[in-house]
Copies of this chain bind each other. A is one copy, B any other.
Amino acid sequence: MKTLYFITGNKGKLLEAKKRFSKINFEIIQKDIGYPEIQADSLEEVALFGVNDIQKRFDKPFFLEDAGLFIDSLNGFPGVYSAYVFYKIGCSGILKLMEKYEGNKRKACFRSVIVYKGLNKDPEIFIGESYGLISKISIGDYGFGYDPIFIPENEKRTFAQMETDEKNRFSHRGKSLNKLINYIKN
């Protein structure tokens, strides 16, 4: 079985990647070595900055991922700082900010950016997006982060009401992981 390193401290992300890669007989190994995250306008900038830092001190093929929830009516908030905002005000804070919005005004997009760094290769970027709505209440026990308040398109349930395999089928991270897998297979 081949192995690939995932630089992350997030158990939820790790589980999603493990599940997805097991289908092509790849073992994902967590490497929680941290990296500086810059305050930037895009997830891509944050992830690339991280890869440049890590490649100086880690010499095996690896990838990292940065994700964010971008809510239309909040000008893309919490966006690039989704993790920080979640830690501070949680799903309840977001629901509070969204109280006055109805229907299409609750549109949001989950974005996932994976940067893969193979040996002696330039970094490769894989992007996955999932469009949907912010729910009216927080619901569901699976997943992590904003999963309990995000209902993907053509669904009535939040991400947190889906088990990992099902969420992976159409989640932002499922899509970016698929792109990475296709790249690695070829």
Contact = CB atoms under 8 A, between A and B. Distances in A.
A4 to B, nearest CB: 25
A75 interface: yes
A155 interface: no
Nearest to A88: B77
Interface residues of A, number: 23
A37 B167 CA distance: 34
Contacts of A39: 36-39, 46, 81, 84
Of A36, A39, A81, A93, most B-chain CB atoms within 10 Å: A39
Interface in A61-101: 74-81, 84-85, 87-89, 93, 96-97, 99
A79 B84 CA distance: 10
A85 B93 contact: no
A117 to B, nearest CB: 20
A114 to B, nearest CB: 18
Contacts of A84: 39, 80-81
A51 to B, nearest CB: 15
A183 to B, nearest CB: 27
5 contacts: A74-B89, A75-B89, A93-B97, A96-B96, A96-B97
